Structure 1
Amino acid sequence: MESTDWSADGRAALAAVGVLTVALDSVTGACADADGGGPSGAGDAGPPGASVRRDADPLRELADDCLDGLAEVARWEARAAALKVRLAATYLRATEAVAAPAVAPHDAKCQEMAVTAEVACVLTVSERTAGAFVSDCQALTRGLPLTLAALTAGTISWAHARIIVDETSGLDPAGAAGLEAHFLDPAAPDPARGCPAGELVPSRFRAKARTWRERHHRDSIETRHTKSAADRRVEYRPDSDGMAWFSAYLPADTAAGIWDRTTAAARALQGPDEVRTLTQLRADIAATWLLTSGLADGEVAGGGVPSPRAQVLITVPVLSLLGAGEEPAVLDGYGPIPPSMARRLIAEGADSFYRVLVDPRDGAPLEIGRSSYRVPKAVRQWLRLRDGKCPFPGCNNQSLDNDADHLLAWADGGTTGISNLGQPCRKHHGLKHSSAWTPAGASKDAPPGWTSPSGRHYASEQQDWEPPHWPDRLQAMVTLLAECVPEDPGPDPDSELPPDPFPDWRLFTAGHPWPATAMDDPGWTEPLEDPWLEDLLLQHG
């Protein structure tokens, strides 16, 4: 970018700051009046643009206007973050332009530290935080134009923008552009399914962005996993109030198996006489398993209750399962894993893992592997596969810990089909039955959305399936076969009709007249003397 371009960009950002300040001041004053801080009182005014209908409840109107105001302020916060990015980037370029050339690497480092310290003082943050902010600003302005444009438009938040910066940090320019286009460009060849990026809570958006990154990274997931597995470790960190953190960095299948088995055991111990929460039970069970050789009567983990076996879904592309492809599989509750890990779990007969094959044409699930046929169990597994987690917007509770629930109650005529089922977590299951929040709109492939008491509908996050990548050798074979098999053109509408195979049918019928009784008497019931004519009458009524 030329110096005149970025200096003009900086001046435009400064002008936008003034406009934003005036707009925020006007809303702040209006909200103060609506709260009773102004002379008009609580029922006389609302946010700009709000009109209270005479036939409507003024308090309901005020509540709706406040929700609209919150959404608008969130968009302004995103725009303000975009202005901070442009101002910081312009400041960096301006200081680079006026600074004296660095004679040694030490001089360049000192100049960078001075600039970061200045930004930290202006924003009243630590230098470490300011350094991360400066790095994000450079990434957004230099290589992520779609992200910066979405932030400027207010369609994504600063948290979403930072996630894109993080997930594109290890990608080449083409990969970074592909990730941006997938989530932010509706006209992209393969746009993301389900909710737009800005309508996902940041943690859920990070999961989707990470999944896309794992599939499209220039280095295969096998190579990166082999390198990272060497860093596995257990960490211990003291905390306050006599507590400490104990954590383990493990391969995904091992960690997921530990978590799901601990959750299943904790759920088995819940009951009317158990006062511990599910979170406390998980911690107690894990501690008991690590510190003892097993569960004995009277021990803290529950007095000898056997641990149920966890059932984890593994979604595997068919070609990866056969060893013909290197696309990652997906471990329920975690995300992408190397195909070698999935093949090992399936080959070793890990009966706590359920295999889900993926169609190589469009990425949709083909079938769920199971050792015995039980309809409720199969439906529940398909429900977990469809939703992946609690379908309430923003909820991150994974499917193993959720309840299968009829959207339309069985007593009201609801069926047990997949389109009438959801799997909310305990919290949002209770919310459905104790409030006006209602789920609806599920299908075979999409989880239900939710309608709030105010009448606003919030779509649920969908699985972002995409067609698997065919290895070059297989793609060449498919192309060759398609060229070898001639395409059937079908009938030509302009061609002549084929010749009549029985051109003398009139002469034949003339020599075999219909009997008068059969032709003239409606009540005729006698059999015909000619068997051929009898068969013909039976065939043609």
Structure 2
Amino acid sequence: MFETLAVLDTDADEAALVECIAELEHLKSVAAAGQARLTVALDQKRRAREEAEGVPAANRCRGLASEIALARHDSPNRGSRHLGFAKALVYEMPHTLAALEAGTLSEWRATLIVRESACLTVEDRGKLDAKMCADQSELEGKGDKRIAAAAKAIAYELDPQAVVDRAVRAERERTVTTRPAPDNMVYVTALLPLTQGISVYAALRRQADTTFDGRPRGQVMADTLVERVTGQPADVPTPIAVDLVVTDETLLGDDQTPARVPGYGPIPAAIARRLASNAIADERSKATLRRLYRHPSSGALVAMESRARLFPKALAKFIALRDDTCRTPYCDAPIRHTDHATAHSAGGQTSELNGLGDCEACNYAKEAPGWRVTTRRDDDGTHISEITTPTKARHRSKAPPLPGSPRSPASSIEIAFADVLAWRDAA
């Protein structure tokens, strides 16, 4: 089957193309079921080995979820979901697993069933599994919403109190998050209890219903949200610090090389110049320029001018600007910890080379037994981090280059100067 699918005949007739698309979708479901079985097998073997080695029960399989996520080229903070999903299918929900293996369910729809049954006892979870998936023909034609709604209804029928208790606990998970959006925009998402979320949206709609100044409803609602949260008009800049990494040619000239906002990504040169100009023009703001030095061949960040007296704080800022987001492969989470690749207790230096920007979850994951993180500088000055998991799998990440195209070819004097220009000399 794999050899047949490896050769895709794009010149086939329409019916054959549709059939091939369906076969590939079926294969994705089969692969997801296989990953679930292998994940559980890995968990069993790891627990057995660590038990034989005398590892306390509470500490067994530490870091395993992150290891699984890395193997799947996924963000490590999703590893616990992959592991929990696999255990639920293999140990408690055989009918859902069978439907996944048969291609009747996609991995996401199987995940929805597992998620809605999470509050139930093992016995009730088995009943939901049988009622939902024992007859696979009942799953045909159902989309995500119908699958989730059916699972939720069965869960409530089996144990109403458990569903209510979960809803009460969910209120403690209310939060606000941001993530980049296209065209220099950002999504601000609020996870709120039902009544609060509806009341917020209703208040914004009510303002839009009574505003007639030519702006579309959506703009009025967005501007109202900004004004009520910040306490000032939406078109007035808010006095907060935003790091903007930009070349001198872009900032002071007419070069069109994009700039970069750490944690967000690249933005057009014109937008970067406008942001800088607005910050300088606003009397309440204080625009500060800090020189960054990049390697002449690769564009890698090699040093930063320091305006701070405390070295650790300045060094943490340098590493955050260099790494942009968490340096664990496939993880795009914001940097929360500046940590030693080689632990300080093991002789690791508090230096730019040995420092890494990590999210909280990834930083804790690599403290588990069997994990090792090393860093080095490539020939062109790029900072390289390599993670070795307990199974000896290796995953490498490179620090992103600064905005702008490196000047090439670089002279030997330029390269030598960049190599000598270490953080301790620039701080």
TM-score (norm 2): 0.43
Work out which of the two has the higher radius of gyration on C-alpha atoms and give 1 or 2: 1
Indicate the structure whose relative CO is greater, using CA pairs within 8 Å and at least 6 residues apart. Answer: 2
TM-score (norm 1): 0.35
